[in-house]
A = this chain, B = another copy of it.
Amino acid sequence: MDELAIGLIGAGRIGKLHGDNIARLVPGARLEAIAEIRLTGEHRLWAGKNGVKKVYEDPAEIWKDRDIDAVFICSSTETHAEFIIQAARAGKHIFCEKPVHTDVGRIREALDETAKAGVKLQVGFVRRFDHNHRKVRDTVASGRLGKPHIIKITSRDPEGPPLSYIAASGGIFMDMTIHDFDMARYLAGSEVSEVSAWGAVMIDKNYERYGDVDTAAVMLKFENGALGIIDNSRAARYGYDQRTEVHCDRGCVRVENDLVDTSVTSTADGVVCERPTWFFLERYNDAFVAEARAFVDAVRNGADVPVDGKDGLAAVYIAMAAGKSLRENRPVKLAGIM
């Protein structure tokens, strides 16, 4: 295949991020069209800067454009399944932001359609492309530390989203921890079999109104016998805290946060270092590029995508189990809800 022509569905913050990357930093791909339901002049301006001439309100324009090889679905979560289905039927390869959808029935339908159509579907678990977490995975997967015993994930946002967002988020596990559930599977190299989740409202009492929590601790059991531990916060204040750590037979591998810079300032008052990079746009900036490149490479080379629809579905199941565990204050086996 020659250069991959990509249509972008949804040009909000994350859509623009992917669009900019495709236009500038992903060899073998070009940004061919964008579709944005709430289209404004600002979107047109942005498209123009990236040399994109096809600017639509209706994604259907993209499905029917024969020039377009693949789509990036960056619209709101509840539209994901439907757009995957339509893109698949139109024969487009698909990159879809996480989560695939919050309704597993709809996800299954979407996966069936992509299978039927023979198109690729990659899910946007961008952290797999981070240099740090990837190093942890590669070290574990190499087998040189032996089998994993405990997978630990610290995942804390610097500041919470607006409350309006919380209301529609599907809860902390489906919205935020879902990244960690995927990371846990990725690092452990094994499926999760059981979840035990606790939560607390420590930051903003309003979370209670939505039956949600802003602080969480989750234990996982994996099919290979390993245990997992995740801790989350909606507002860590000091920056985006994203650390992973895997303990194995012969030792452990762990990664620290990337920092704004490596400076150390020492005075009689103390020693001051820099904070972690602020949030996901800063921390996973390079990972977003690597993710898009991996998708484009897989499509062009007819290879498997590195994160597929089954990965997307698996993380949703774990999030559902975690929600149930929190509500019922007991461990929940994945087998019981799949």
Chain B neighbourhood of A238, CB < 8 A = 251-252, 266-268, 271
Question: Considering the chains assembled together, what is the distance between the CA atoms of A228 and B268 in angstroms?
Answer: 23
A196 on interface, CB distance cutoff 8 Å: yes
Fill in one digit per residue for A125-158: 1 if any B CB lies within 8 Å of its CB, else 0.
Answer: 0000001101110010000010101101010100
A263 interface residue per 8 A CB criterion: yes
Give a binary string over A246-281; 1 marks a CB under 8 Å from any B CB, 0 the rest: 010111111111101111111110111111100000
From A115-123, A181-189, A218-226, the one touching the partner chain is A218-226
In the complex, per-residue mask of A48-91: 1 if CB is within 8 Å of any chain B CB, else 0: 00000000000000000000000000000000000000000000
> Smallest CB–CB gap between A236 and chain B, Å?
7
Tell which of A251, A270, A331 has the most Cβ of chain B within 10 Å: A251
CA distance in complex: A35, B200 (Å): 50
Q: Given known contacts A196-B219, A198-B219, A225-B200, is B253 in contact with A264 (CB within 8 Å)?
A: yes
| Alpha-carbon separation in the docked complex, A274 to B139 (Å) | 12
Interface size, chain A (Cβ < 8 Å): 67
A172 CA / B56 CA spacing, docked (Å): 58
Residue pair B236, A265 in contact (C-beta under 8 Å): no
**Whole-angstrom distance between the alpha carbons of A283 and B226 in the complex?**
28
Query: For window 232-246 of chain A, which residues contact chain B by CB distance below 8 Å?
Result: 233, 236-239, 241
Is A5 an interface position by the 8 A CB rule? no
Complex Cα distance, B330 from A236, in Å, reads: 29
Give Cα distance in the complex from A139 to B262, angstroms: 13
Copies of this chain held together in the complex = 4
In whole angstroms, how far apart are the Cα atoms of A264 and B145 in the complex?
13
Contacts of A135 in B (CB 8 A): 261, 263, 274
Nearest CB of B to A156, in Å: 7
* Residue of B132, B231, B239 touching A229 (CB-CB under 8 A): B231
A275–B264 touching, CB < 8 Å: no
State in angstroms the CA–CA spacing of A156 and B264 once bound together. 17
A327 at the interface (CB under 8 A from B): no
Q: Residue A131 contacts which of B251, B260, B330 (CB distance < 8 angstroms)?
A: B260
10 closest A-B pairs by beta carbon, nearest first, are A251-B267, A238-B266, A256-B262, A24-B24, A149-B202, A135-B263, A271-B273, A253-B265, A131-B261, A217-B227
**6 intermolecular pairs with C-beta atoms under 8 Å apart:** A131-B260, A132-B262, A145-B267, A200-B225, A250-B267, A253-B266
Using CB atoms and an 8 Å cutoff, list the residues of chain A in contact with chain B.
24-25, 131-132, 134-136, 139, 145, 147, 149-150, 152, 154, 156, 196, 198, 200, 202-203, 215-217, 219, 221, 225-229, 231, 233, 236-239, 241, 247, 249-258, 260-268, 270-276, 329-331
Given contacts A135-B274, A255-B261, A273-B273, 8 further A-B contacts (CB under 8 A): A135-B263, A200-B227, A236-B251, A237-B250, A238-B252, A238-B271, A255-B262, A271-B272
